[in-house]
Structure 1
């Protein structure tokens, strides 16, 4: 009661002052502060308690930080009160004769008298509320979207400004508040007028460079599997197979078959029953390497001089997918002829079971004594000739499609480091904002007419090689080391309210969420699917072994249930069935393992970087298992101690023996003792087949991926990988500047020294000579640098999920384990 009495006495003893407008020219208008709003609300409440007319203000949606404003900077600035950040003075309405419309209304809160019933204060209360919530309205963000202190500065839309005379004489109706003056968004600290630049800054755009002879000679790289000599060698092998097939078909038709049958465990049996499909599946393995090179190169060929595709980053796969089912995405990506070529590559998988039934035994009676002889099945043979001719035509088209003149590459883009070099100065980074946590980042990227080649910019004279959109503006993210040093990661200081109001709080919560971090794995490696694979594989292998050895069914032979007599063209229904079907099933097992193998190869860099200690560049950024053949992957994985990748790829090699053995292990033999024909297995090959099938089935127990191999989304496109790199400080690392060859990139990331010219482009002055030497000394330590996949402070000084160095000088270590998991471990 004493405080209320003192307030009433203070109100009735204030001196009367003639109110007037206070108008100052300012480049920004301040919003009402929390102190303003709380003081005004408390005063209004006290007025209501004393019988005055007051107004109840609705609560604000978000609290605006207290900012000390200079009185001359605002059009609504009250004189400062001792110890308090004081709001601006109210603009007092004047009557038409120039005097105050209400003598009882004062210019400050210190001189405020009880409200006058004839004057409506609603417009001013609404204006104060609008100023408090203007941050959200200007930026279009909700309560839980962004922290006003961290919002980027945007230029407010221009408002029509009324004349000074009308602003002083006209009074808006009580129901419609006066339009607030234009206001710039608040920053963390007030900016002096001298630092505000209102002139528009010209945008820096990417400009293509006209290729001189020297620059043109540097381009045109073609991956090794797609070069003409390598493709010519593959075509030569295909032509040799075609020639051998035609010779066998013609010779067998004119000379009463080929050779006499001498048993099912001899060298001749191996040549006719195992060797053809073994050669065929080795060609399939080589074809996989060629396909992998086409997959990773095609997006960049579509950024070349003669052909462009606006969806190259989002829709074109960079990992092979032409295994169990044909990959038809090329038709959708406006590559119909390449789609036809890949469909032929997929049909080539059927050459292995067809080769398994190419040679069969035939009972010959018109050439000497009656006996069994090896002959070629004419229908199967000519089908194989047609398939290999189509394969040669498809390879010829691919050689034409991936010719040197269509390439603007400097080297083969096989790893994450290559991707960083190609996009480090690109102008498409802004398209990937917050895509690192999206389950489908490809759907969020807008189409771009991208070009791969040499560029310069309108603001810088240097020429660089990379990917970008011609004549499009560049939105650079400048990395501020002091901001990154001071910005705490959520693992060190968890403040739920601060995190809620941080940059895109929904986004901030997601990058720290274990659900988002460990959300994606291919459908065939999900827990329920892997469990189904394991159960099915074990049950089938048990059934296979039981049927094979119970009652000596395989050793003693079994009834073919089909006619076994070989006709004049060499075709026997029983022999065809028990050769083609086992080889076809074995080929399915081999192809079904290839996506598993490819996933483990592609995800291994992320697995290595997901360790708490990170991984070196050789085991992360430079790792490129999908680009190598099976034997190369096993060798490199053992050297790098990636034992699971080595084992999975070894099983992939081991599984190719299943269709080879399964297609040749059975043959029809006539038993004169009981005058019957039985299907009998070659027991050495059958024992080997049983062992291989058992090992293959048990290997499904090892494919269960650990959490370190789970990712936020897929990795089958360039856009999916760039979502974890667009904000990374790696794009601005000095180690990745002015790189001309793949060897130089490897040397820099692994710590080898290099010349000053390679680092800076020129080194004439003494100062420039010394700076590269310091850079060389820094980069000589690159062999000890660790890279991680987790939460880092990006070039925009905000937290992102992706790839960066585990720790940078003067900054905190990356958060590799999600926040909730880390705190669960600390509690444990």
Structure 2
């Protein structure tokens, strides 16, 4: 049986026959206990003092009732309802109960509804037909239903008509000049990389031509000499240096390409949702940019991916060959001629791709003031944007590609219509400023507390239920909060990697050192003779195959390294006590070179990230060593064996062991799980669109990155006695009180969790943890 209504205490004497008994309809599904409490200290951030509180459930005016004044029509309608009685028609009550059962879907409504619609749902109301948009007044006359007006809407109606107008860069101001290009994409850096490629081309051409004219390059003098290092390790070592350099170029390309596309007139309307900002061109080629309207960048990245295979081929370039036509027949170093010409063409393709990078990422195509590599940079670029309403409730969406509507964005200077204000941001031209964009310019009370006009008609049942909507329950759910992690770092995959690494490492070491099999040599099972073009089947196979397998190991670790660098700021923000801006909002691990990021992570006490980045760099030595350790040797008994250079082989075994055991320590842990991916600008913006950080006075009108660092990390310190402990619970509150008692200054802290947004609603994302009173 369905419970239709629950009696509540009447405002008049219950014994009075002239006064009807009041009823209050219970919330839908109220009998179901909440599985995830709002006060989870790991997910919730403390509320700011003075934030808006929801209106009380009952808005009856007791004095008005006693004095005979007119009350709210909907309340009067509620009071006139009678309880279900045998012998009476209960159809209206049953209809109302059915409405409440299906109310979840109606309250949530369209995904990108307006702020007021989020509060009040649709216009259907208690006691009225579901198809009607009117309610009855006390005298029985219908009157149109309308939403309650807030003080904000009444006071800012003219402001909401403002639109964003693009303007040219202001002249004679203190704004930093536009046209910033990251260091890896600058002409000087790319020119240096092109010179290194030309050096490789010249070296290969010289080796090929000199080998033909002089019967080889140098005499073979053993497998542990300087010449052996020159021909068996140095070529692939230079190749891996170029490859690591290309990784830095790719990282910069991914990071700034969306912003470059917003700096010029291009018909791209889903840049924020579809364009990745972290590299994904490692194990498999990335064709994303062909779909994003950037075919030139897509071709460049395809050439970069093909360069991954230059290291195994470089390890096969130089072979030992027996020259019998010399006065004293002997073994000499020679080149595999056909492979040499292929490598020349390969590096010429790379030079052409780098020249395309110079043209695409030139200064005049950039509207950036500095490298947008951190969360704080995203905050500044969207601080006063007019597209923030498009991201309503996006923090819990698993995929933002189809959730966020398309828009044609521009990065540059803007001014609101009818205003002399100028700012640098990302926005959509001639689009009205939305409510969240205007909040920074309005008085605090205009957006901290909604003011409802007591004369407005509104559905109190719907308003009450909207406060416990599906969205509110979702952001408090751990299943939504800790949902996303790359497939290759999920528990089942990590167990598979660990088992595979251990099961392969142990036989590898056993076979290598039992009975000195590698040191004494083994039968190559292939011909070891070297042809006129310098090709030896056994030497080619035992150089190319080990280096190729090692290259795949090296490439497979790069997505792991990229993921940890991307989410480390979020992992630091997930701390129950928050973290500093240097370790979170200002941190830009993805933009740092390999060696620098390791030392920077150690300095910030991000030890797991430091280890992951160290392995990413150390694993580059495996393909270099694997491609040069084996050579065919002719023994005195007349048989040919493949023999390893033991110094190089022992070094490779150390790096392989470190690599295999590293899978034991790369568990992401819960703090690195997020509601959805953050590999796009939209993914990051979904955790910031309603954050009070976008209206933080401390970071208003920032003119340089140095100024941003000073404001977030240096000048924002608060005295411990001024820190508000509201919202902190348990150990956090005790530590904060100890801090106050000791009169220790505390730096500003930031955290990832549930906070009260600029629209006075709960959201999941990033905000300050400690605020001054």
Indicate which of 662, 682, 690 corresponds to 1:719: 682
Q: Where do 1:160-239 residues align within 5 Å?
A: 180-186=142-148, 202-211=160-169, 218-239=177-198
The equivalent residue for 2:653 is 690
1:436 has 2:402 as partner: no
Distance in 2 (CA, whole Å) between partners of 1:128 and 1:407 is 63
Q: Where do 1:50-89 residues align within 5 Å?
A: 65-68=57-60, 80-81=65-66
The equivalent residue for 2:533 is 569
The equivalent residue for 2:643 is 680
Q: How many corresponding residue pairs? A: 674
1:786 has 2:749 as partner: yes
- Give the Å deviation of 1:427: 0.8
- Give the Å deviation of 1:646: 0.8
The equivalent residue for 2:229 is 270
CA gap of 1:187–1:211, structure 2 versus 1, over 3 A, is closer
- Give the Å deviation of 1:787: 0.5
Distance in 2 (CA, whole Å) between partners of 1:202 and 1:399 is 42
The equivalent residue for 1:141 is 107
- Give the Å deviation of 1:312: 0.4
Which stretch has the larger CA shift, 500-509 or 396-405? 500-509
- Give the Å deviation of 1:429: 0.7
**1:349 aligned counterpart, secondary structure:** helix
**2:627 aligned counterpart, secondary structure:** helix
The equivalent residue for 2:473 is 509
Indicate which of 582, 595, 599 corresponds to 2:546: 582
Q: Where do 1:615-764 residues align within 5 Å?
A: 615-671=579-635, 673-752=636-715
Distance in 2 (CA, whole Å) between partners of 1:222 and 1:143 is 43
Asked whether the equivalents of residues 108 and 121 of structure 2 are also in contact (C-alpha less than 8 Å), the reply is no
- Give the Å deviation of 1:628: 0.9
Indicate which of 242, 250, 263 corresponds to 2:201: 242
Distance in 2 (CA, whole Å) between partners of 1:144 and 1:237 is 56
- Give the Å deviation of 1:709: 1.2
**1:456 aligned counterpart, secondary structure:** strand
Q: Deviations over 1:612-661 (max 9, x none)?
A: 11111111101111101110111111111111111111111111110011
TM-score calculated relative to the size of structure 2:
0.79
The equivalent residue for 1:396 is 355
**2:143 aligned counterpart, secondary structure:** coil
Give the number of the structure with larger relative contact order, counting CA–CA contacts within 8 Å between residues 6 or more apart: 2
The equivalent residue for 2:519 is 555
Asked whether the equivalents of residues 303 and 353 of structure 2 are also in contact (C-alpha less than 8 Å), the reply is yes
Which stretch has the larger CA shift, 500-509 or 582-591? 500-509
Q: Which runs of 4+ in 1 moved over 4 A?
A: 33-40, 57-65, 81-91, 125-134, 136-140, 142-146, 148-157, 195-202, 212-217, 479-487, 497-500
1:251 has 2:217 as partner: no
Asked whether the equivalents of residues 121 and 466 of structure 2 are also in contact (C-alpha less than 8 Å), the reply is no
Asked whether the equivalents of residues 786 and 806 of structure 1 are also in contact (C-alpha less than 8 Å), the reply is yes
Distance in 2 (CA, whole Å) between partners of 1:348 and 1:659 is 14
- Give the Å deviation of 1:670: 1.0
- Ranges in structure 1 where 5+ consecutive residues have no aligned partner: 1-32, 47-56, 72-78, 92-107, 113-120, 158-176, 488-496, 755-780, 811-828
RMSD: 4.3
Q: Radius of gyration: which is bigger?
A: 1
Indicate which of 279, 294, 302 corresponds to 1:343: 302
Which stretch has the larger CA shift, 136-145 or 428-437? 136-145
Asked whether the equivalents of residues 581 and 748 of structure 2 are also in contact (C-alpha less than 8 Å), the reply is yes
Distance in 1 (CA, whole Å) between partners of 2:686 and 2:547 is 42
Asked whether the equivalents of residues 749 and 782 of structure 1 are also in contact (C-alpha less than 8 Å), the reply is no
Q: Deviations over 1:719-769 (max 9, x none)?
A: 000000000000011121111211111121121599xxxxxxxxxxxxxxx
Q: Deviations over 1:582-607 (max 9, x none)?
A: 00011111111111111111111011
- Give the Å deviation of 1:482: 7.3
Q: Where do 1:146-545 residues align within 5 Å?
A: 152=119, 180-186=142-148, 202-211=160-169, 218-477=177-436, 478=439, 501-503=465-467, 505-545=469-509
Asked whether the equivalents of residues 557 and 681 of structure 1 are also in contact (C-alpha less than 8 Å), the reply is yes
Q: Deviations over 1:377-420 (max 9, x none)?
A: 11111111111000010010011000111111111100001000
Asked whether the equivalents of residues 408 and 453 of structure 1 are also in contact (C-alpha less than 8 Å), the reply is yes
Q: Deviations over 1:60-98 (max 9, x none)?
A: 987994334799xxxxxxx9457999676999xxxxxxx
CA gap of 1:549–1:154, structure 2 versus 1, over 3 A, is closer
